[in-house]
Chains A and B, each alone.
Chain A
Amino acid sequence: MTTLRIPRGAVLPLLFAGILALGVLLPLLMMVTISLNPNEQDIMVSMGSIRSFIPQVFSLENYVQVWTDPVHPFPRYLWNTLLITGSTLLLSILFNSMAAFVLAQGTLKVRKLVMILILATLAVPGESLVLPQLMLASWAGLIDSYQVQIIPGVANAMSIFLFYQFFSRLPKELIEAARIDGFSFFQIYRYVAMPLSKPVISAIAVLQFLEIWNAYLWPVMVTRGPEYRPLSVAMSAYFGTNQAAWGNIMAFAVSMAIPVILFFLIMQRQFIASVMSSGVKG
């Protein structure tokens, strides 16, 4: 009899951890199982039985269908999503950190006013502004483009606030020393502050990544077709038809989730740390 060495006090927590893991994994297992079954009729029949959680067939037919459907061009949706997410993150981190650095370390008189503006906008629920934003986008002729999906994420009061908190804790001597060495204000930001703020950057990047990758309401209103639509909207279009083909829907779902899970596996350590810190210090 082999014994797995488990500390005495850990048996109960381990049991609970197992239940928790099952609660998370079972629905996901079902998603994968259905996605591997090309037979819609069989999916319907086995739904609810144990067979909907343990794959009986391993067919990639649904995946091939989803990836090669000419009306729902998956590669295009994926590219759109990647482009929008990437551009937004890049611009957002640049703009918000620059502004936060000025607020934390600058000398401008307007800083107080800007700070009030930022704190006030923190309180405005973004969802209540989508209609005027939509009208503005249509007046600006931006509907159905990448920009209209990128711009709303580039200035983010929460990011500015998080950067601000970090930058205002930078040691005064460090900034002073750089200034004496002849660094301009921008150079101090670029060569002193930014290299030190990797943890903050990754925290903000991770949070915004999830927000943009999963965005739904705004993209559905501002895009007219596959040209600029992201995955999330395409997914709900699949889902919205009357005769839902569950195999295809689940194959789409898995395909959409995998890039995020990969991103997570690569960034796991920073990811957990960043979400943790965003909360407590935020």
Chain B
Amino acid sequence: MSIKSRSQRQELAMLLPAVIFLIALIVVPFALSIWFSFTDQRLVPRPIPTKVIGFTNYLRMFDDPLFWQAIWNTVLFALLVVPFQLAISLGAALILNAAIPFRSVFRAIAILPLLLPMTVIVAIWAVLFRIPNGPLNAAYQWFAGSGNYVDWIGNPSTAMVSIVVLSAWATFPYQMLIYLAGLQDIPQDLYEAAKLDGAKSWQRFRYVTWPGLRNVNIFLLIITTIGALKLFTQVNILTKGGPNGATTTIIQYLFQQGYATQKVGYASAVAVFFFLAVTAIALLQRRFLKNEGEA
């Protein structure tokens, strides 16, 4: 008995540090968020008392066109970046899974963007996007004739697409590596069998590779979507949410409201909404994809 309880005390001591920090870092802030969202809490203390204001923050949030724009921008970003980035990742994985010379060198090169901090990547792309003579515009002038240029991040209609391309470049190696692992898990004899049946390479992809990647695809779809919904750093450094709100995402909006203008109560309402939305999307995706897989 005494041995058991000593062992259990040991277990408790091993469990507690992580649990305490999880509570302090996630549970308490989460509870605070919910509480703040019903008050007019400010970041820096004010000389007037903080009040409970009911659902005012939520009502104002639903009333603010910029909030809806932020939601639409975030959804748009996810809709654009997820297929684009996954296609690039899968393509890169297929290439780097093939028997080519210097394969490990190519793999090492392809991983480089993953190693660079987003701040560095943003600095590089800021140069690429420059007008009128940045490298991307130089390439554009090759097609469109000299004197023409696109204000990639300064024009509301191209800003989001530019952020999508930058983001895909920055993070595709992660998905690529997971695809590579997925490709290696597909049994080689399936390919042999397909070859014996006379399947062309496209058919081998369609009937062997693609079904074999089903689980990987589901996993990547979910994590890439959730990652996309959190878009912030690129936008905060490069465009500050502009031009005319065209790249204001939910997190950028939350940051503007809660940190720049210090309205923590209001920003908390946005945070609670964001949390509910992300959870709902993750659950829906999982359910939908599972059903589809079983059907």
Contacts and interface: CB of A to CB of B under 8 A. Distances in A.
A214 B232 CA distance: 13
Interface string B247-261: 000010011001100
A114 B113 contact: no
Contact of A14 (B100, B169, B267, B282): B100
B219 A131 contact: no
Interface string B9-30: 0111011011111111111111
Chain A contact residues, majority secondary structure: helix
A226 B210 CA distance: 50
Chain B contact residues, majority secondary structure: helix
Interface in B2-53: 4, 6-8, 10-12, 14-15, 17-30, 32-33, 36, 41, 43
Residue in B116, B130, B237, B282 whose Cβ sees the most chain A Cβ within 10 Å:
B116
A140 B99 CA distance: 56
A135 B25 CA distance: 12
A217 B271 contact: no
A183 B68 CA distance: 59
B130 A47 contact: yes
A48 B177 contact: no
B72 interface: no
Contacts of B103: 17
Residue in B109, B127, B128, B169 whose Cβ sees the most chain A Cβ within 10 Å:
B127
A239 B258 CA distance: 23
Interface stretch (A22-30, A56-64, A168-176): A22-30
Given A103-B15, A108-B11, A132-B33, A24 B112 contact: yes
Contacts of B113: 24
A264 interface: yes
B117 A257 contact: yes
A261 interface: yes
A53 B127 CA distance: 12
Interface stretch (B58-66, B77-85, B133-141, B156-164): B133-141
A115 B106 CA distance: 41
Interface residues of B, number: 101
A96 B18 contact: yes
B182 interface: yes
A78 interface: no
B74 to A, nearest CB: 12
A132 B43 CA distance: 9
A259 B99 CA distance: 31
Interface string A221-243: 10000000001100110011000
B270 to A, nearest CB: 8
Interface string A186-228: 1001000000000000000000001001101100010000000
B129 to A, nearest CB: 11
A210 B115 CA distance: 7
B184 to A, nearest CB: 8
Interface in A77-108: 94-96, 98-99, 101-103, 106-108
B135 A52 contact: yes
A135 B36 CA distance: 11
A253 B33 CA distance: 36
A124 to B, nearest CB: 6
A7 to B, nearest CB: 6
Contact of A131 (B7, B43, B169): B43
29 contacts: A10-B99, A16-B91, A17-B106, A25-B112, A30-B127, A31-B124, A52-B135, A102-B14, A125-B229, A130-B255, A132-B28, A134-B259, A135-B43, A154-B21, A184-B6, A185-B7, A216-B117, A235-B117, A239-B126, A250-B124, A253-B119, A257-B117, A261-B112, A264-B115, A272-B111, A272-B180, A275-B177, A279-B223, A280-B181
Interface of A: 4, 6-7, 9-10, 13-14, 16-17, 20-21, 23-28, 30-31, 34, 47-49, 52-53, 94-96, 98-99, 101-103, 106-108, 110-111, 114, 117-118, 121, 123-125, 127-136, 151-152, 154-155, 157, 160, 184-186, 189, 210, 213-214, 216-217, 221, 231-232, 235-236, 239-240, 246, 249-250, 253, 256-257, 260-261, 264-265, 268, 271-272, 275-280, 282
Given A25-B112, A129-B25, A157-B26, 17 more contacts: A9-B98, A10-B99, A30-B135, A47-B135, A95-B21, A114-B15, A124-B30, A125-B226, A214-B118, A216-B237, A217-B232, A239-B126, A250-B124, A253-B124, A261-B112, A279-B177, A280-B215
